[in-house]
Structure 1
């Protein structure tokens, strides 16, 4: 994940490199840990959440270890280039961030609880970086699938900003946008469940140490 350096300009649609009409590579059928299919359609009653929080290797592991999560897969989201490759995303010329798609059972784990894990697993004030990982592909993002998710994400950002500010942190830079406008493109097979296949592999995920409120009302002010 150190391939992208000093790429702090988020490209526009006109600046992005052309995409392709179909994926450039196949996606594995099943999750190596959870055993469930990576791609949909998913069983009735499950819901989908999309998060970007830096290097997707460690981020994915945090979510698949959460009870109630049915499957996870990593990919590229928030950009302009259709069906990009990792090398293209690393160039900074697609506009994507590294993302984790989380398919979960809301009867077991709530979206608020996933938001809490999201906020506490990274530093959302760093802009186009996470720790040593620098570039637009490491920016913090939440891509929402329903109005309820959008409302919860906005409320959690406002509430977490209050406690972060009280702890001396700056402004949250996380983008919260509808997933319908930001297609999710699965990453290459070797990225999927990378830390299960490579237990000693690099993980750049680390939070601020500041606890995030869960299920609270939007911050006042």
Structure 2
């Protein structure tokens, strides 16, 4: 992961890099761990999608592909302005994106609430534009909800977790909550997909609080 001291202020749409009209690189057809499609623009009937930003997406994706009930995961960029950005562009702080993990899951096996709880437990959502030593807008905490129901679940978990963090002396949760429809998800380049399978001793950033989410 790049350790540049990127800008910690989000660029405006006018200031962001221009971007591209379409994806400019190939992606693998299959997920290296789950043997599901990697590109999941078409989701099987009855499945749902969760989209999270929680710091370096290499280790974040690894967390979610291990959750029972998760059908496929991918890493990419969300919450910004630049269309089809590159990894280097996102790390420059000039696209407005955060590194994101897209999770396709079977709600009959794992609930969205449990995925949100996992999200909060494996990173520190109080750090603003950083996770541990990783500093920049691309490391901010974010939940991009796909429906009003997901929004309500996310807000409920935030409220419960904030109360628990307050007891332990942590600050305010800075997680960005936005509708997924407002922020296109752009797949990251293929070397970043399932990165820790390809590089098992690669970098993992889990700058978590150690505080569990109270289950409601």
TM bin, normalised by shorter chain, reads over 0.9
Give the deviation of 1:135 after TM superposition.
0.2
Q: Are the counterparts in 2 of residues 57 and 195 from structure 1 also a CA contact under 8 Å?
A: yes
Q: Where does residue 64 of structure 2 map in the other structure?
A: 63
1-side partners of 2:128 and 2:4: how far apart? 14
1-side partners of 2:62 and 2:103: how far apart? 11
1-side partners of 2:203 and 2:121: how far apart? 19
TM-score, length-scaled by structure 1? 0.95
Map 1:49-88 → 2, pairs under 5 A? 49-88=50-89
Give the deviation of 1:206 after TM superposition.
3.0
Secondary structure of the structure 2 residue equivalent to 1:118: helix
1-side partners of 2:39 and 2:10: how far apart? 28
Q: How many residues align?
A: 215
Q: Where does residue 96 of structure 2 map in the other structure?
A: 95
Root-mean-square deviation (Å): 0.9
Map 1:1-221 → 2, pairs under 5 A? 1-40=1-40, 41-214=42-215, 216=216
1-side partners of 2:97 and 2:110: how far apart? 28
TM-score, length-scaled by structure 2? 0.97
Q: Are the counterparts in 2 of residues 24 and 85 from structure 1 also a CA contact under 8 Å?
A: no
Q: Are the counterparts in 1 of residues 49 and 105 from structure 2 also a CA contact under 8 Å?
A: yes
1-side partners of 2:43 and 2:69: how far apart? 14
Give the deviation of 1:158 after TM superposition.
1.2
1-side partners of 2:150 and 2:29: how far apart? 27
Give the deviation of 1:6 after TM superposition.
4.0
2-side partners of 1:101 and 1:39: how far apart? 10
2-side partners of 1:85 and 1:63: how far apart? 23
1-side partners of 2:124 and 2:20: how far apart? 33
Q: Which runs of 5+ in 2 are unaligned?
A: none
Q: Where does residue 219 of structure 1 map in the other structure?
A: none
Secondary structure of the structure 1 residue equivalent to 2:144: strand
Secondary structure of the structure 2 residue equivalent to 1:38: coil
Q: Are the counterparts in 1 of residues 161 and 213 from structure 2 also a CA contact under 8 Å?
A: yes
Secondary structure of the structure 2 residue equivalent to 1:101: strand
Q: Which runs of 5+ in 1 are unaligned?
A: 217-221
Give the deviation of 1:3 after TM superposition.
3.9
Give the deviation of 1:9 after TM superposition.
1.2
Superposition misfits of 4+ residues, deviation over 6 angstroms: none
Q: Are the counterparts in 1 of residues 6 and 91 from structure 2 also a CA contact under 8 Å?
A: no
1-side partners of 2:49 and 2:4: how far apart? 28
Deviations 1:162-190 (A, max 9, x none): 00011010000000100000110000000
